[in-house]
Amino acid sequence: MYYYLVRGLAGIVVRIIFDYRVEGSGKVPERGPLVLASNHANGWDPLLIACAIRRPISFMAKIELFRQPILGWLMPRIKAFPVKRSVTDRQAIRRGLELLRQGEALGIFPEGTRHRDGLDHEGFSGVVYFAVKGNAPVVPIGVKVGKGLRPVACVRVGDLMRMDEPGERADQKVFDEKTEMVMAAIRKLFHEGEAR
């Protein structure tokens, strides 16, 4: 499978370029629907996370990547699927829920795009929507990459968070509140992660 081949090659590259460290990867269930939610500071984040987590991850990625010649061919083969960021992309939503119903792991960056200036950004509530509708726990992840020659790159995995509670009404206010809970967990992991 392309996913394992690419991840294996990426793992070699990552360990050459970075002083690569992973904390808490054993907290990720080996099977069952799962939403992995991480901060997004640079283009290395998906590879750093994929190398840290044993099971395959289907990342939701901006549709522009699928329009590039090489990446457009590779992305579907490594389980990524496109999303239009400027609108409510119903096709991407359906695909994400379908993957969760199949017991897959879905990778999402709740901030929606890369932010190099830290984690003072709100997350989009889609992460909680997928968790509730897909009956999946959320695993918060903090990724921190240092600077300099062979910098530390740390992937820190947090505890599972259940988003659905019996009898709770799933409205936008609840989604927003729980999204902030997820973002708070990600921020905590980010600030505790090692990097220099």
pLDDT in tens, 37-86: 999 988 899 999 999 999 999 999 888 889 998 888 989 899 999 998 77
In the prediction, which pLDDT does 20 show? 96
User: Which range is least confidently modeled, 19-28, 84-93, 149-158, 174-183?
Assistant: 84-93
For the entire predicted model, the pTM comes to 0.90
Residue 66 corresponds to which amino acid? F
In the prediction, which pLDDT does 167 show? 56
In the prediction, which pLDDT does 23 show? 96
Q: Is the pLDDT of residue 11 over 80?
A: yes
Higher pLDDT, 96 or 168: 96
Q: What is the mean pLDDT of the chain?
A: 89
What residues pair up with 156 in beta bridges, in sequence order? Answer: 23, 142
- Average pLDDT (168-187) is 86
Domain 2-192 has CATH 3.40.1130.10: yes
State the pLDDT confidence band at 116, using cuts at 50, 70 and 90.
Answer: low
State the pLDDT confidence band at 194, using cuts at 50, 70 and 90.
Answer: low
Spans of all domains in the chain: 2-192
State the pLDDT confidence band at 126, using cuts at 50, 70 and 90.
Answer: confident
In the prediction, which pLDDT does 196 show? 45
Sheet holding 19-23, edge to edge: 19-23, 152-157, 138-145, 34-38, 105-108, 57-62, 81-83
